[in-house]
Structure 1
Amino acid sequence: MLLLLHGLAGHCGEWDGLAGRLSADGYRVVALDQRGHGASERRPEDVSRAAYAEDVLGLVEEYGAGGRRPVVLVGQSYGGLAALLAAARRRPGVAGAVLIEAGPDRSSPEEVAGVVEWLEGWPVPFPSREAAVAYFGGGGAGEGWAGGLEQRDGGWWPRFDADVLAASLRENAVRAWWEEWDAIDVPLLCVLGEKGIIRAELWDAMARRQSGLRGLSLPGAGHDVHLERPGEVYGVVAAFLREVLGGDARPTRRACAGVDSRA
Structure 2
Amino acid sequence: MTWSERTVVRNGVRLSCRDSGGPGAPVVLLHGLAGHAGEWDAVARRLSPAHRVVAVDQRGHGASERRPGDVSRAAYVADVVAVLDQLGLQQPVLVGQSLGGHTAMLTAAAHPGLVRALVLVEAGPGGPDPELPARIDGWLDAWPVPFTTRAAAVGFFGGGPVGEGWAAGLEQREGGWWPRFDRDVMVESLAENARCDFWDRWAEVSCPTLAVLGQSGIIPPREADRMLADRPRTQAVSIPGAGHDVHLEQPEVLLGLLSNFLDTCPSTASEG
1:57 maps to 2:81: yes
> Which structure's relative contact order is higher, taking Cα pairs within 8 Å and 6+ residues apart?
1
The CA deviation string for residues 209-243 of structure 1, in whole angstroms up to 9 with x for no partner, is 11210011011210011100010000001111111
Distance change (3 Å), C-alpha of 1:241 and 1:34: same
Counterpart of 2:189, as a letter, is: S
Counterpart of 2:232, as a letter, is: S
Check the 8 A contact 1:64/1:71 in 2, yes or no.
no
What is residue 202 of structure 2 aligned with on the other side? 181
Check the 8 A contact 1:81/1:103 in 2, yes or no.
yes
The CA deviation string for residues 171-222 of structure 1, in whole angstroms up to 9 with x for no partner, is 1110111111000000000110010111111111000111210011011210
The CA deviation string for residues 89-140 of structure 1, in whole angstroms up to 9 with x for no partner, is 1343310110000000125222331122111221111011100000001111
Check the 8 A contact 2:125/2:197 in 1, yes or no.
yes
Check the 8 A contact 2:132/2:190 in 1, yes or no.
no
1:229 maps to 2:250: yes
The CA deviation string for residues 135-159 of structure 1, in whole angstroms up to 9 with x for no partner, is 0011111111000001112211000
Q: Distance in 1 between matches of 2:88 and 2:92?
A: 6
Distance change (3 Å), C-alpha of 1:238 and 1:76: same
What is residue 166 of structure 1 aligned with on the other side? 187
Q: Distance in 2 between matches of 1:245 and 1:226?
A: 24
Q: Distance in 1 between matches of 2:32 and 2:63?
A: 15
Check the 8 A contact 1:60/1:94 in 2, yes or no.
no
Check the 8 A contact 1:101/1:193 in 2, yes or no.
yes
What is residue 257 of structure 1 aligned with on the other side? none
Counterpart of 1:153, as a letter, is: E
Q: Distance in 2 between matches of 1:8 and 1:216?
A: 22
Match of 1:132 among 129, 149, 153: 153
What is residue 99 of structure 2 aligned with on the other side? 78
Tell me whether 161-170 or 4-13 shows the greater mean CA deviation: 161-170
What is residue 259 of structure 1 aligned with on the other side? none
What is residue 254 of structure 1 aligned with on the other side? none
User: What root-mean-square deviation, in Å, do the aligned CA atoms of Structure 1 and Structure 2 show?
Assistant: 1.2
1:102 maps to 2:123: yes
Q: Distance in 1 between matches of 2:126 and 2:189?
A: 16
Match of 2:144 among 114, 120, 123: 123
The aligned length equals 242
What is residue 51 of structure 2 aligned with on the other side? 27
Counterpart of 2:116, as a letter, is: A
What is residue 34 of structure 2 aligned with on the other side? 9
Counterpart of 1:7, as a letter, is: G
Q: Distance in 2 between matches of 1:142 and 1:106?
A: 29
Q: Residue 28 of structure 1: SS of its match in structure 2?
A: strand
TM-aligned CA deviation for residue 62 of structure 1? 2.6
What is residue 44 of structure 1 aligned with on the other side? 68
Q: Residue 92 of structure 1: SS of its match in structure 2?
A: helix
What is residue 172 of structure 2 aligned with on the other side? 151
1:89 maps to 2:110: yes
